[in-house]
Amino acid sequence: MIRSEILREIAPILNPHLVVCNIGLPSQELHMIDDNERNFYMLGTMGLSSSIGLGLALAQDKTVISIDGDGSVLTNLGTLPTIANNVANNYILLIIDNGSYGSTGDQPTYAGKKTKLENVATACGCENVVVCQDVDTGAALQAAIDSKQMTIIVSKCDSGNIKLPVITKDPVVIRDRFMTAVAS
Amino acid sequence: MSISKKIVDDFVANDVSFITTVPCKQLAGVIDEVEARPEIFHIPSNKEDEGMGLCAGAFMGGKRPAIIMQNTAIGVTINTLATLTQYYRMPLPMLISYRGELREPVACQVEMAVHTKALLAQMNIPTYHFHKESDADELDAILKYTFMCNKPVAILTDASFWGGYGDQ
């Protein structure tokens, strides 16, 4: 499976929850599959999906799922110790690990070579690190939500992209409707 | 009252309850005070752009955030300021240790100091410079201004403001 197929499969599980979605194709795909006010789309700032999600989870009680990529986590590797040391049990970091920088043309990442992000997360002190195959992502995500324990999921999948348009919504509109959903 | 306590009192009085910090010798007293206050959730970050991401999330979660960092971080965070904090129009008070100004003992710090105000001006970030202790009297108004206009706002605090670096 490629990332867009995983997103299509897990969209009903994500739907009731607050989602912070990574820059580029992941946000465009989620926007196409299930646009709703509980989704925060990153239009820029590669690497910070996990940080934004953690800040949001620490600030309020609703479940927050950050959708990130292996390339983006490598960009902001310092996020993993911060997550490990500031436990928010309403927080799930879902790393869709396709071993490539999908939005920029599928250049390989180091996570697609020798580096194992699940081992990095564990070494950083993250206590619930789950590795799954693409087809099992939905089950792993639902289990993490039900566990009410902060969880890092690394979902291994194929690289590959679908063609789809950029998000043209105004960033302040995205942010405002998201904050209304957070506060509701 | 110590200046560190006064600064953190102003944060608390303005309902700032989520503060991320990156270590700094000059700001050590403020960071200790932030850590000590039960009204504030203190979350150290490993890099300043990561901290700005945390602050963005906390703001959307209903908290008033702030970041405490050195001016070298301006070089690190330009993209985050432009594409996250400013693009989504979020407030962010940035209490900044202005290294490389008068009484600076480390030459390399001057290399970013000479760019600091130019970069902030280029980013259209409202910037205040605390040089004397009485300059901090404006902090309360600066915080109110920040959360009124939903912008990142820089508060540069130099070595003279902090009373130098102590014994070298």
Instruction: Give yes or no for residue B143 having a pLDDT over 90.
Output: yes
**CB-based burial label for A113 (10 Å; 0-12, 13-18, 19+):** exposed
Average pLDDT of chain B to the nearest whole number: 96
Provide Rg for chain A, Cα atoms. Answer: 15
- List chain A residues with pLDDT less than 70: none
Q: Which pLDDT belongs to residue B164? A: 77
A111-121 per-position pLDDT tens digit: 999 999 999 99
% chain A with pLDDT above 90: 97
Place of tokens 């944060």: B11
Contacts of A36 (CB under 8 A, 6+ apart): A15
B64-114 per-position pLDDT tens digit: 999 999 999 999 999 999 999 999 999 999 999 999 999 899 999 999 999
B153: tokens are 């706002």
Average pLDDT of chain A to the nearest whole number: 97
Q: Which residues of B touch A82 (CB under 8 A)?
A: 43-46, 50, 54
* Helix ranges restricted to H, chain B: 3-13, 28-36, 48-60, 72-80, 107-122, 139-149, 159-162
Confidence band (pLDDT; 50, 70, 90) for B166? low
Q: Do B43 and A20 touch (CB under 8 A)?
A: no
CB < 8 Å from A in window 8-37 of B: 18
Cβ(B155)–Cβ(B10) below 8 Å: no
pTM for the full predicted model: 0.97
Q: Which of A51, A60, A179 sits opposite B53 (nearest CB)?
A: A51
Q: Which pLDDT belongs to residue A104? A: 86
What average pLDDT does this structure show over B28-53?
Answer: 98
